[in-house]
Structure 1
Amino acid sequence: MPAIPAPHRVGSADVIHHDGYDETIVSPFVPAIRTVSGARLVFVSGVTGAPVYHDHPHRREVFDTIPADIAGQVANAFAHLDLALAAAGARRTDVVNLVRFFTDVDADQDTVNRVQSEWFGGHIPTSTSVEVTRLATDPRLRLEIQAIAAVGAGE
C-alpha cells in the first residue's frame, strides 16, 4: 500500500489525504482540506449557466439564451464563479469546497469533471455532487455550483 503523503499547502489551505490514497486514481476531489490560521472564508452562492443577476420572480425570457448543452452551461457557470471569486479577492486555487447540483448526473458528470479539471488547472478542491429533480431558477438549467474559498493566510 502506498504511503499517505504529508499534507501539502495550496494557497491558504493544506490538502489532506488518508489511508487508501492512491495517486494513480484520477479524481475530481480530495478527501479533506484544512484552512490555515488567518484565512478568510468566502462563501459563493450557487452559480449556473444563467445570468447571475436576474429578476425575482423569474422572467422566462431572461433564460432563453442559456445554452441547452452541459458544455455551454458549465462554461458559463465557471465564468460566473470566476467573477464572484475575483470580486471577493480570491483565486481559483483558493477554492476549498464545491457542491455540484446536477439534474442528470449520468449524462453530465463526465463533461463537468473535464471542464472543472481544466478550469482549476491542477488544483483539486473537496467536492460533493448531488442529483436533484430540477434547479430553482429555470427548468432548462442542468447544473448549479456552490463554492467556498479560503483567502489570504500568510500573504
Structure 2
Amino acid sequence: MSDLFEYVHTEGNDPAFNMPYTPGITVTGGQIMYLAGVTAAPVYHSHPHVASEFDDIPLDPEEQTEMCLNNLRDVLEAAGGDLGSIVEVTRYMVDQAKNQDGVNRAMGRAFGDHRPASTSVEVVRLATDPRLILELKAVAVVPVDESGA
C-alpha cells in the first residue's frame, strides 16, 4: 500500500473479501492527479478522429483493457506515479455483459492486490471509435514534485 493514501472499509466488513475495488480511500499525502479518459487508442491521436488510426486495435476486451492501462501508466509515470497510485477509476464499457469478464481479468493482473475505488458504467458507444470497448478515467495520488520543475 502507498504511504500517500489509506483504504477505508466499513466496520465489521472483511477487507480480504475478494472484491475488485475498495469502498473508499483517503488521501494522506502527495498531490491529486486527475487523468483524462483513455481508451486502447493512442493517447495522442487526431482530432477530429481519423478511423484508420484505430485499425490496429484488437477487438478482444482483455487486450483493449491492457492497452488502456498502458496509456494510464504512461501518463502516471510522467508525474512520478504508477498504476498503484490510482485511488479511483471509472470504467465506461460497451456491452458490459459480454466484455466485463475480460476487462476484470486484465485489470486484476495489472492492479494485483491494489484495489482502487471503482465505478462501472455501461455505455452504448464510446466517442473515439465504434470498435472501442472500454474507456478508463482515473484519479491518482502522486508524490509532490519538490524539484520545482
Normalised TM-score (structure 1): 0.87
Say whether the 8 Å CA contact 1:11–1:151 is kept in structure 2.
Answer: no
| 1:42-79 deviation digits (Å, cap 9, x = unpaired) | 11111111111111111111111111111111111111
Report what 1:102 is aligned to: 93
- Letter aligned with residue 42 of structure 1: M
Q: For residues 120 and 12 of structure 2, what CA distance do their matches in structure 1 show? A: 21
Q: 1:150 aligns with which of 128, 141, 145?
A: 141
Q: For residues 108 and 20 of structure 1, what CA distance do their matches in structure 2 show? A: 33
Q: For residues 21 and 15 of structure 2, what CA distance do their matches in structure 1 show? A: 12
Say whether the 8 Å CA contact 2:9–2:15 is kept in structure 1.
Answer: no
Secondary structure, counterpart of 2:88 in structure 1: strand
Say whether the 8 Å CA contact 1:30–1:127 is kept in structure 2.
Answer: yes
CA deviation after TM superposition for structure 1 residue 145, in Å: 0.3
Secondary structure, counterpart of 1:28 in structure 2: coil
Say whether the 8 Å CA contact 2:37–2:135 is kept in structure 1.
Answer: yes
Please state if 1:133 is matched with 2:124. yes
**What is the aligned residue count?**
145
- Letter aligned with residue 25 of structure 2: I
Q: 1:26 aligns with which of 18, 27, 30?
A: 18
Report what 1:70 is aligned to: 61
Q: 1:39 aligns with which of 30, 37, 50?
A: 30
Please state if 1:53 is matched with 2:44. yes
Report what 2:106 is aligned to: 115
Say whether the 8 Å CA contact 2:89–2:137 is kept in structure 1.
Answer: yes
| Structure 1 unmatched runs, 5+ | 1-8
- Letter aligned with residue 85 of structure 1: L
Q: For residues 78 and 103 of structure 1, what CA distance do their matches in structure 2 show? A: 17
CA deviation after TM superposition for structure 1 residue 10, in Å: 2.8
Normalised TM-score (structure 2): 0.90
Q: For residues 135 and 88 of structure 1, what CA distance do their matches in structure 2 show? A: 27
Answer with 71-80 or 15-24: which moved more. 15-24
Secondary structure, counterpart of 2:76 in structure 1: helix
Say whether the 8 Å CA contact 1:11–1:93 is kept in structure 2.
Answer: no
Secondary structure, counterpart of 2:100 in structure 1: helix
Q: For residues 24 and 124 of structure 1, what CA distance do their matches in structure 2 show? A: 11
Q: 1:86 aligns with which of 69, 77, 80?
A: 77
